[in-house]
Amino acid sequence: MSHALKQVFNKDKTFRPKRKFEPGTQRFELHKKAQASLNAGLDLKVAVQLPPGEEQNDWVAVHVVDFFNRINLIYGTISDYCTEQSCPVMSGGPKYEYRWQDEHKYRKPTALSAPQYMNLLMDWIEVQINNEDIFPTNVGTPFPKNFLPVVKKILSRLFRVFVHVYIHHFDRITQMGSEAHVNTCYKHFYYFVKEFNLIDTKELEPLVSL
């Protein structure tokens, strides 16, 4: 990890509090297993594969929470440069504009600035992953039928954070010397969603050149 990024991490400048896994739980053990694979320098295509004997939904849940934490950190490193003035529209270059929609205030897709979009997105994801009815933490509690649809929505929206950061703020990431970290995180995310078919190929087009 670059020195600049370490400084940011050490300041604990996270965009949101981290969701942690309770020690002793199956998810905690799976999280440790996933981290060990990454730390061992395994090929990311191999590291994302479901370990033998594990439940796919558990493996997916662990990764969704982990990606949420990591992408929060990445956005946190550039959030001072992502302002209403610099990014009045949540976009990925001139071809892609992302509008916000939810079940409360924004019932129709609404154009927002990037910082507004990010705030709403991170709040929304936090609610989902802390909802025991969607992400049950007790061993033996089954996942609901809508688990994968919710996961797909979370991941497709988190992907938009990568798109915005890469297209509009990569110069800042490069200045900090943290592009290798961001690239690895993106590759990990990309291989994971491809392995379990969690984002439509069409959605991935903005970063296909990567």
Q: Is 93 left (phi over 0), alpha (psi -120 to 50) or beta?
A: left
Q: Is residue 7 part of a domain?
A: no
DSSP conformation class of 85: T
CATH number of residue 191's parent domain: 1.20.140.30
Q: Is residue 92 part of a domain?
A: yes
DSSP conformation class of 97: B
Predicted local confidence at residue 11, as pLDDT? 38
**Structural domains of the chain, count:** 1
pTM recorded for the entire structure = 0.85
Distances (CA, A) of 83 to 43, 89, 92, 191: 36, 10, 15, 30
185 is in an annotated binding site: no
Q: Is residue 39 part of a domain?
A: no
Q: Is residue 125 part of a domain?
A: yes
Q: What angle do CA 164, 169, 172 make, to 5 degrees?
A: 155
Q: Is residue 100 part of a domain?
A: yes
Based on C-alpha coordinates, what's the Rg of the chain? 17
Predicted local confidence at residue 139, as pLDDT? 72
Q: Is residue 179 part of a domain?
A: yes
Is residue 100 helix, strand or coil?
strand
Predicted local confidence at residue 101, as pLDDT? 94
Query: In whole angstroms, what is the distance from residue 9 CA to residue 33 CA?
Result: 22
Predicted local confidence at residue 39, as pLDDT? 64
Q: Is residue 18 part of a domain?
A: no
Domain residues for the domain of 175 are: 62-138+146-207
What does pLDDT average to in each consecutive run of 10 residues of the chain (210 residues)? 40 50 66 68 86 92 93 92 96 94 91 96 94 87 95 97 96 92 93 96 88
Quick check: 25 and 89 in contact, CB under 8 A? no
Give phi and psi for 97, each to the nearest 5: -125, 135
Predicted local confidence at residue 208, as pLDDT? 86
Q: Is residue 126 part of a domain?
A: yes
Is the torsion defined by CA of 180, 114, 95, 72 positive or negative?
positive
